[in-house]
Amino acid sequence: MPSSVSGLTLSRQAEIGVRAGDVLQWTANDRERSFANGETVRLTGISDDRLTVRDASGTSHTLATDDPMRHHLAHGLVTNMHRAQGTTVDHAIAVMESGDRALNSQSLAYVLASRAREGFALHTDNAEQLISQIERNSGMVPSAMEVAGKAATTSESHAERPPRETPALQMEKSRDFGLG
């Protein structure tokens, strides 16, 4: 059974339709079996009472009907930008709404664009407005100490650091990456 820090796990159970070949994603950890929240697996077999999945290392795992991890699987081909951090794929497609001020930042756009090794396509409702939003919002959030103006240094290891620079984002309006 997945563990949590305080014994409380927040999630919403929903029945999803699956078929052999689907990419699924764990939505909780199972340390005993090395299932990591966010890790993708491929569904390789379905029987009346068992699901068989294969992880990235090629190891197959069979989940019986009463296996609690069956409740912690979701479709794995689509993810949000926060969960995508730290993952790398060959091709990525992103959707950003031009009016979403909280998410349209240089740092989050960079996270999206840097997930793909081969190709990246960005779809939006208004490219000019989106670019304008991203250019105005670095996405760098000051610490509580910076906001309070008390970023005093107490030792050399805590010396004030220069602000981080976000790499420039280059966007193309349209490009065929041969995804299908």
pLDDT for position 154: 44
C-alpha 134/C-alpha 106 separation (Å) is 5
Residue 61's pLDDT band, with cuts at 50, 70 and 90, is very high
pLDDT for position 164: 52
Distances (CA, A) of 86 to 81, 83, 92, 180: 10, 8, 14, 25
Q: What would the pLDDT profile of 21-49 be if each residue is shown by its tens digit?
A: 999 999 899 999 999 988 889 999 999 88
C-alpha 62/C-alpha 43 separation (Å) is 10
Do residues 73 and 25 make contact, with C-beta atoms less than 8 angstroms apart?
yes
Q: What would the pLDDT profile of 119-161 be if each residue is shown by its tens digit?
A: 888 899 999 999 999 999 888 877 777 777 755 544 444 455 5
Full set of structural domains in the chain with CATH: 23-75 (2.30.30), 81-142 (no CATH)
